[in-house]
Amino acid sequence: MSSSSPVVTKKARASKDAAGPVVIRVPEHTVEIVSDSGEGAQKCGQIFGQVSAKMGNGAWTVEIIPAEIQPPARSGPGASGNRIRIGTQPVTNWGDAANLVVAFNEQALLARHELEALHEDAIVLVENRWATHDDDDIRREWTTAMEVLGKQDYRIIPVPMEEQCLTVTDNPRRGKNMFVLGMLAWIYDRDIELIRDAIRQSFRKKAEAVARANIELMELGYRWAEANLDFRVEVPIEKPPTPMIVLNGNQALAMGAVAAGMDLCAMYPITPATSVSHYLGEIFEDFGGIVHQAEDEIAAAGVAIGASYAGKVAFTVTSGPGLALKTEFIGLATMTEVPLVVLDVQRGGPSTGLPTKVEQSDLLAALYGQPGDAPKVVMAPATIEECFHMVVTARRIAELFRCVVMVLTDANLATGVQPFPRPQLDPRWQAAPPDLRPVPEGVKPYDWDPASGLSRRFIPGQPGGMHTLTGLSHDEYSHVGYSPDVHERGCAMRSRKLAVFQTTLKPPGVYGDTKGDLLVVGWGSTKGAIEEAVDRARARGLRVSSLHLRILSPLEPGLKEIFSRFRKVATVEINYSDRLGDPYITRENRRLGQLAWLLRAHTLVDVDCWTRVPGQPLRPKGILEGIESMMPGGHA
């Protein structure tokens, strides 16, 4: 374990009990930092997570995001922050509950407690100024909260955060987060130099003094913790064998687009997708790329289609309400076979729904949202690493199959931060520059291979390739079709491409035994939590395995055969489903999770589902309960 440049003076150390702190040595530990919005808990958590990852811990960071820009101060729903789960091994999800919580006020803490975010014997570091606040109401709130919390087995340690900060700054509200970062650095023995770097990086757009002041506050927290706390936590580090990088899912999508050689991102802001464009906005021009913020989502899709048509595959990125608006254009791209990549970072729906919260409920809209038969490829990364690589794959498939490829991620992946092996970039991942060589005589704009439906597109600038694309039913020449055959044939050619693509796929692997009592099927961001739950269930002797789908359209091969080896199959989804036992709900009218529905139609297996729409990532613990309830013979 390393701590490069000691900031801790002898003196500070001396003030502590000579025995030194107790060291809690664990394979993993989960920290939550919660504050009012604007107090910077998120930045603190991000740096802590990043530095932990850089040091070689496994890590997973999840943002706790309030729904508003400026929720009221000291309010539960307004709590903003992070959960960072670190481990000796790679960490794949946010886990169940926090072992250590740092709270900037007791109301945020209480809210987390009520959401069962705290481990039963969690250690809590809470700002103590509210206990003695001038405002009677606030003191009363503090007392009430402490009474509730006092009944738990938490170890609560009041910390004079503001008081301490005031010793070096006169605006402690803005600096407290760095003080907390320092405390955490001491508790977890983080590399101080890495933290200093991270702070500098984070404030690179501000005056240098700002970074300096923040570093000072961080060091203050470090010293305070050293002087006052009686415990440290050690999560041993096993340096991963390969070089790693740490990104959140939206950064990974953005970098994936760069690695794929795309150079136009046409978008309209929408949470939680927008940060893809924020990040690209900063770096894309260095690659010759541009972010075009269009007047609306419809135009964004149109610009991406126009750009794709004119050369290289472009992409658009959005979330539910924006996806709804792109529906018509997605149909046009499908019909004209203009390659297009659509990234959909899912949030809670329907309608405006839960703008900042995770859900997986755009699945069927992605597959079936367009009027008419609009076959397209739909994929979903399960990890942040896959966010990166899947964009590269999506671009290639879109181009090769002249089709729309939708990549579905979600708010959990978008803001989650996780280290993963640094990609070895390959020039072949990139779209070739537009090839403007003349079109060979006789080649038609849709020179469909009659078996596969595949054809090579021409782009403007290619002599001899002049033709007019149209969303009307058309023949090989892109001429408007007037006979029944033309339409039948066009539909078949567009559909056939999916079949061809499907035949190139391998059956997905099963996590755990390839037969058993229950197979849990998931997709997207829930993979880590599902597999952790499966591990725990197997540890309890349950014959459970899981399977995670990455390609939803066309479905990966072999599912029916795999399913047949289990007594029961059920999906786990962050989606709504009716529950048996609820009033009026029967086996017949029950509305199932979207993936379950899809798998039933596809396999004719009686796929059940365990779904929740809490607006937060699923916890392994919850899934475990779900698994137990669904075990054949169980009560589901």
Partner 1 sequence: METSCSFLSCDHDDDERSWTMEDYAGAIPRWCPGCGDHAILAAVERLLETEQLPPERTVFVSGIGCSSRFPHYLTTYGFHGIHGRALPIATGVKLRRPDLHVFAVMGDGDCCSIGAGHWIHAVRYNVDMVALMLDNGIYGLTKNQTSPTTPQGHPSNTQPKGSHLMPLNPLSATLGVSNASFVAQTADWMPAHVYATIAAAFRHRGFSFVRILQRCPQYTDDLFQEAVRNPNLVEMLVHPDGVDAPELEKIFKNRRVHDPKDLDMGRHLAEPFDRIRLGIFFRDESRQRYEELRHQRIHTAQERIDRLNEEFEKYAV
Q: Which positions touch ligand SF4 (CB under 6 A)?
A: 69-70
Q: How far is CA 298 from CA 71, 271, 356, 619, in A?
A: 31, 16, 22, 36
- The answer to whether 258 touches 289, Cβ cutoff 8 Å, is yes
Is 605 a residue that touches a second copy (CB under 8 A)? yes
By rule CB under 6 A, what string of x and - marks binding of each residue 346-365 to ligand TPP? ------x-------------
- The answer to whether 194 touches 149, Cβ cutoff 8 Å, is no
What is the nearest approach in angstroms of ligand TPP to the Cβ of residue 420?
Answer: 29
Closer Cβ to partner 1, 195 or 533, answer by number: 195
By rule CB under 8 A, what string of x and - marks binding of each residue 197-236 to partner 1? ----x-----------------------------------
Is 508 a residue that touches a second copy (CB under 8 A)? no
- Residue identified by tokens 């990974």 is 252
Among 335, 358, 384, 520, binds a second copy (CB under 8 A): 335
Cα–Cα distance, 546 to 527 (Å, whole number): 9
Is 352 a residue that touches a second copy (CB under 8 A)? yes
The strand pairing partners of 511, in sequence order, are 546
Cα–Cα distance, 359 to 21 (Å, whole number): 42
What is the nearest approach in angstroms of a second copy to the Cβ of residue 554?
Answer: 6
Cα–Cα distance, 364 to 366 (Å, whole number): 5
What is the nearest approach in angstroms of a second copy to the Cβ of residue 549?
Answer: 14
Is 299 a residue that touches partner 1 (CB under 8 A)? yes
What is the nearest approach in angstroms of a second copy to the Cβ of residue 413?
Answer: 17
Strands 544-549 and 566-573: unpaired
Closer Cβ to partner 1, 278 or 591, answer by number: 278
* Residues between 373 and 412 with contacts to partner 1, criterion CB under 8 A: none
Is 290 a residue that touches partner 1 (CB under 8 A)? yes
Residue 477 binding result from a second copy, ligand TPP, ligand SF4, none, given CB thresholds of 5 to 8 Å by partner type: none
DSSP state of 480: B
Count residues binding ligand TPP (CB under 6 A): 8
Q: Which residues contact 583 (CB under 8 A, 6 or more apart)?
A: none
* Residues between 263 and 292 with contacts to ligand TPP, criterion CB under 6 A: 268-270
Q: Which residues contact 373 (CB under 8 A, 6 or more apart)?
A: 491, 494, 495
SS3 label, residue 323: helix
Cα–Cα distance, 622 to 635 (Å, whole number): 16
* Residues between 572 and 591 with contacts to a second copy, criterion CB under 8 A: 575-576, 578, 582-586, 588-591
Closer Cβ to ligand TPP, 320 or 522, answer by number: 320
Is 560 a residue that touches a second copy (CB under 8 A)? yes
Other C-beta atoms within 10 Å of 4: how many?
A: 10
What is the nearest approach in angstroms of ligand TPP to the Cβ of residue 328?
Answer: 6
Among 22, 148, 425, 492, binds a second copy (CB under 8 A): 492
SS3 label, residue 64: strand
Tell me, what amino acid is at 33? I
Cα atoms found within 13 Å of the Cα of residue 155, Cβ hemisphere only: 8
Among 158, 160, 240, 615, binds partner 1 (CB under 8 A): 240
Cα–Cα distance, 47 to 188 (Å, whole number): 13
Among 60, 222, 224, 597, binds a second copy (CB under 8 A): 597
Positions that interact with ligand TPP (CB under 6 A): 268-270, 297, 321-322, 325, 352
